[in-house]
Structure 1
Amino acid sequence: MRQDEDAGRVTLATVADQAGVSVSTVSKVLNGREDVSSKTRVRVEQLLEQHGYRRGVRSAPDAPLIEIVLHEIESLWTMELIRGVESVAKANGASVVLTESGTRHSPGPEWIGGVLRRRPIGVVLLFSSLAPAHKKRLRARSIPFVIIDPAGDPEPDVPSVGSANWSGGLAATRHLIDQGHRRIAIITGPADMLCSVARLDGYRSAMGMAGLEVDPSQVAYGDFHVAGGFERARELLGRPDRPTAIFAGSDLQALGVLEAARVHGLRVPDDLSVVGYDDVAVAPWASPALTTVHQPLRQMAEAATQILLGIRAGEAVATRMELSTSLVVRKSTAPPPGTDRRQRNVSPATAG
């Protein structure tokens, strides 16, 4: 290859010649075919990346696709994110395809071959991470990607959109402290998810700022789902020194807490205050209406999709974006038993 050859005009024949394979083999690698040896695939991938190979626009499918990768479709927050991606995709003449990942937080090895065959114009990953090998293969095909609420701390070159989880956790806990609560428990999400850790850190910070010690027995790890919230809450409420308030790391877990309180014969908020997180559609309709941290899920998805399209268009875009959260005070929080209920704080507070 000539030293001054434009990398954007590299041909498959050039790559095939340097890799010592046929053009059809290079084509198979480009299209995610699995009938190529791993050694050959790695070599071709390296050359494609080295020379900055870019597909021509005509290689894209007739109906442009944006692929959403998620590990569960049923959750309420996932549906909000999907709606956000769909709204921007539709406005830009693209359709959306959903793919469930092979593991909880990262697409499995079978996914990458499929996505290369589908040739979407971009990939949006929810609550996920992306293996280095997958990043290379996507970039070699000029398929941009963005992660919404990444499972771990993404590398600087991985575009991501999240929300102010630490501030949200801080605001939720401060609200309970301002109500007069001192025995405040938290049911956070999985310990290996960045948003869970950030919300827990916000809780710890609020407790520390108020001069309150964090009792390790009042910290429980859940899974962001109703059943998990119910089980963790039953354990916390079964203790002799049960909490007077519980901050749940998701609204679904908070719904589980409400049911656990009922099973224990406790009234919310008279005997127990509960704060959720997300502000999903059912939160105002819970009994009682749920005080929660509003997370702008749809706006997060819309921003991520705009970033994706900007990358594809060659525009300079932000690689990290964090949207603000806010506390929405409803009926599930009040001062603890034995205090003057007339001092109840009902005005919303803002975080982020």
Structure 2
Amino acid sequence: MVAASAGVSVATVSKVLNGRSDVAESTRTLVQEKLQQHNYVLSATSRAESGTRAIVEVQVEAALVAYSSEIVQGVIDAGSQLGIDIVVSTRVGAAANLTSERPAAWARALALTGRRAVIGVTSELTEERLAAMSRARVPYVVVDPLGMPLARLTSVGSTNFAGGLTATQHLLSLGHRRIGYLGGPKTAACNHAREHGFRAAMEGAGLDLLPEYVTTGAFSYETGVNTGGSMLDQAEPPTAIFAGSDEVALGVIEAARIRGLNVPRDLSIVGFDDTQLAHMAAPPLTTVRQPLREMGAVALRTALRLAAGETIESHHVELATSLIVRGSTAPPRSTSGRGRSSRSR
């Protein structure tokens, strides 16, 4: 039907479906248009039987940063071992509009280009997009979804609550009582879990949670510089800050430097992720390690199992976090140096 509609041979349609290069671009465009008109989707089984290498696309919500680069590298490494071709794209500009405003066309386009599955990194997925992917028979797996996970969404993350708890308990063990939390987007599930871990540790120590010590923003250096700076400008600033990401933590270090504060003598800082930035920070950053490359590899293996029609044991997988202690944390200075201690219950 597609071949007759396009006025080409069945062999030509097969070449387009398999991504062969020996097809004129005008013919390829015409065939793809006809395939979309007929809602044709090549199944994962048919693609495997065609003998072509499977293609998995990794979509990053914004420009690559240290965190997302580590996850993408994990997918690439695992793809190399499994003989899978990995394509990386960012969901910005026209691509973001197509995804948000025309999810059905976006999903069909992915299927027509031979994508076996799609992995989203910190993606915000709507029910419409998820339904479109399901109809196109292209499995979608998300690493650290930006929104609260949908019931049918398959995702990979880490033990964010445990990480937040451990980071805060580390600061408490050093003697800090005025501890701030500077997190990421309010809608991010991972941010909620890290903040809840922070709150659990503080409440477990019998300390009041001061509203001015808990704030959110973006997982960015700028958030650390600006919002962290505002926290440090308070009449009674915290003696320690738990930042929701390494980039935020580095921004807080800069905000402290601008104000003449020394890390860790005047301010202790803990990050989250353990990216390369943590090693390059001055001083080296104490942080909660997420196994980012392993998370990417697990996302790929999960996506391929779904593409093969397998039943997975869980729609959400969490990998363990661990605290890495470096030079950005130390016991607080005498309370006479920077204000009174936090109130206890």
Q: Shorter-normalised TM-score: what interval?
A: 0.7 to 0.9
Matched residue, 1:222: 217
Structure 1 residues 301, 101: CA separation in 2 closer, same or farther (over 3 Å shift)?
same
- Contact (CA 8 Å) 2:148, 2:188: kept in 1 or not? no
Looking at structure 1, the residues matched to 148 and 34 of structure 2 have their Cα atoms a distance apart, in angstroms, of 31
Matched residue, 1:326: 322
Number of corresponding residues = 303
Q: Which moved more, 1:114-123 or 1:82-91?
A: 114-123
Q: In structure 2, give the amino acid aligned to 1:62.
A: T
Residue 189 of structure 1 is aligned with which of 171, 184, 192? Answer: 184
Structure 1 residues 334, 119: CA separation in 2 closer, same or farther (over 3 Å shift)?
same
Looking at structure 2, the residues matched to 58 and 215 of structure 1 have their Cα atoms a distance apart, in angstroms, of 57
* C-alpha deviation, 1:102, in angstroms: 4.4
Structure 1 residues 132, 222: CA separation in 2 closer, same or farther (over 3 Å shift)?
closer
1:305 aligns with 2:310: no
Matched residue, 1:109: 101
* C-alpha deviation, 1:317, in angstroms: 1.9
* TM-score, normalised with respect to structure 2: 0.80
Q: Secondary structure of the equivalent of 1:282?
A: helix
Residue 73 of structure 2 is aligned with which of 66, 83, 87? Answer: 83
Looking at structure 1, the residues matched to 163 and 197 of structure 2 have their Cα atoms a distance apart, in angstroms, of 7
Matched residue, 2:270: 275
Q: Secondary structure of the equivalent of 1:182?
A: coil
* TM-score, normalised with respect to structure 1: 0.78
Looking at structure 2, the residues matched to 107 and 182 of structure 1 have their Cα atoms a distance apart, in angstroms, of 46
Q: Secondary structure of the equivalent of 1:333?
A: coil
5 Å-filtered alignment, 1:55-204, equals 57-58=46-47, 62-102=52-92, 107-109=99-101, 111-204=106-199
Looking at structure 2, the residues matched to 83 and 56 of structure 1 have their Cα atoms a distance apart, in angstroms, of 27
* C-alpha deviation, 1:58, in angstroms: 4.2
Note the residue ranges of structure 2 that are not aligned, 5 or more in a row: 3-16, 18-28, 336-345
5 Å-filtered alignment, 1:183-262, equals 183-262=178-257
Residue 288 of structure 1 is aligned with which of 283, 297, 303? Answer: 283
Looking at structure 1, the residues matched to 197 and 294 of structure 2 have their Cα atoms a distance apart, in angstroms, of 22
Matched residue, 1:315: 310
- Contact (CA 8 Å) 1:32, 1:112: kept in 2 or not? no
Looking at structure 2, the residues matched to 33 and 208 of structure 1 have their Cα atoms a distance apart, in angstroms, of 61
Q: CA RMSD in A?
A: 3.0
Looking at structure 1, the residues matched to 208 and 35 of structure 2 have their Cα atoms a distance apart, in angstroms, of 55
* C-alpha deviation, 1:185, in angstroms: 0.8
Q: Which moved more, 1:175-184 or 1:124-133?
A: 124-133
Structure 1 residues 320, 33: CA separation in 2 closer, same or farther (over 3 Å shift)?
farther
* C-alpha deviation, 1:35, in angstroms: 7.6
Q: Secondary structure of the equivalent of 1:307?
A: helix
- Contact (CA 8 Å) 2:44, 2:116: kept in 1 or not? no
Q: Secondary structure of the equivalent of 1:336?
A: coil
- Contact (CA 8 Å) 1:149, 1:162: kept in 2 or not? yes
- Contact (CA 8 Å) 1:32, 1:114: kept in 2 or not? no
Runs (4 or more) in structure 1 with deviation over 4 Å come to: 30-36, 53-56, 58-61
